[in-house]
Structure 1
Amino acid sequence: MPGNSARRGAVRKGGSKKGATVGSGGQRRRGLEGKGPTPKAVDRPNHKAYKAAQKAGRSKTGAPQRRSKPSQEVIAGRNSVLEALRTGIPATALHVAGRIDSDDRVRESLKIAADRALPIMETQRTELDRMTDDSVHQGIALQVPPYQYADARDLIDPEAPGIPLVVALDGITDPRNLGAIVRSVAAFGGHGVIVPERRSTGMTAAAWKTSAGAAARIPVALATNLTRALQDFRKAGFFVIGLDMDGDVELPDLQLASEPLVIVVGSEGKGLSRLVRETCDQVVSVPMSSAVESLNAGIAASVTLYEVARQRRQTSPR
């Protein structure tokens, strides 16, 4: 009745999931308080900015995440997989799409994998797309385990015969250059390769493939600090020479070929870094025609290794 002080406020029906309540209970007031400021785009998991930052290897706060060089690698494509299997690249599994249109490359890949007792997995094409980052895999992919790096100190006193010869990379980011250099080191009697832990490529599947199997015989060592590693080699009696187009000595005039050597190869764009250059006993250039500005890092290393091997053969006792 109007004016009845005993009248109750609105009551939610008993059949409600939340049960019967009297009045709002302060729900409207709490609703007006809001949920605080909107988070940044990179902090919201469903936002494309967050996903892009994650894909770029960054944390939710935007800080870069450090990655160790060893990582699971996948070689994709019929030609690449067959070449990798032929050269004996270590592998953990061969993934083949179901109902694949088989050809000679696929059949040979399957035979080599079976002969090596390598697991052969039938894999959905969508999974192959994910494994290979949507590259052209042609229905076949080879999974490669993380590379086991040697210790740089192990190369100071190599067990292999001959005068020690080591190649160090300074700022080389193309894995194909690394693979080509490993192959040249094996061809010209070298004992190992050193790569820095940061700002340098590692032994990826592409490097394995380019080395044409030489990486199975030539150790690749990981150096936390390249300058410090070169100083350790100098203390052990090695001479350190750096390759640079503005070198003080031309390669044919090199007088240190018969000594224990570390040959440092810089990047094509920046050359040798300042600290590494200051650590070198000599900076050597490869004489070239004026029509060519510079050589590919892998080719420059190969030319230098050949010249060192040639001079050593001339000076070695018959």
Structure 2
Amino acid sequence: MRSFENVPVGEPCGSGADWPFLAARHLLREPAWDAISGILKDLGTRADVDRAWMFEYDDGLLRFHNTHEWCRDGVCSHVQDLQDAPVTMIGWLHRSLVKGEAVMIHDVERLPRLAGPLATEMLRQDDKSVLSVPVFGKGRLRACIGFDMTRTRRTWNASEAGSLAACAELIGLALYKQTAEGLPPPGAQARSVGAFPPLLYLRRAGEVRGVTPGEILGLRSARDYTQVWLIGGSVMLDARPLGLWTALLPAADFLRIHRTAIVNLKHVSKIGPAGAGNGKWTVQLRASEAVWSVSRSYRQALRERLGI
């Protein structure tokens, strides 16, 4: 058995045949970028792998960064290790991805010498076997999704590669496809990768997802956790308390308005009395119908920051 195989992408069948259905269900229910976390979790669990992940290229295909990751319990996360990394690190893999091929690595330790930098990184992450498939958008390589095995080696098969590739095609269509007029189709999120913005990582139950500060509308305390409200309408539960987020968020854009809430000032659309003459103030954020209470002690700071 060869230690690796490059295979043309085919139709899903046999093992993993239902993976595209799982991916499509998430993409129909959620904004595409939000849906990827659920897709990786469902596919990783169904495929019985140890990690499921996605990385995205810059526009020049010169650098890449991990954006999403799901890990089985007890498996270490490495999503933050590869940020703005040079494509030369994965050059051996990249040559197959750009041709639209899935790469099934059955035994990382037996990769050829030309794959040395890639093998070194995979071994550092305790990878024993890896399956990678390309994500295309508008006719060009945009990203890659894949599976890692860290507990045991695994011999992948063409059926699994085809099913994962079908999921990658759905993700590519949802993230990058545009209409003839150059606009994103209804419900899709147009992506322009370009230079990588700094990411903040949301963490919960083995899932890691990178978001830019500008994508965050606001944050609310949920006891030992934090609800993170995002553009697009989704709300994610992060495993860290609100107090820790004050040190992570850029102070120029975010302000605490209540002991249980922080808002992105760039997304404030309305501020004023709550009504009924009770003296309470509220804030409303763009793209959200939720009303956020403003504590009296934070009111003056909010007015000053907004210039009102």
TM-score class normalised by the smaller sequence: under 0.3
TM-score where L is the length of structure 2: 0.27
TM-score where L is the length of structure 1: 0.27
| Bigger radius of gyration among the two | 1
Instruction: Using CA pairs under 8 Å that are at least 6 residues apart, name the structure with larger relative contact order, 1 or 2.
Output: 2
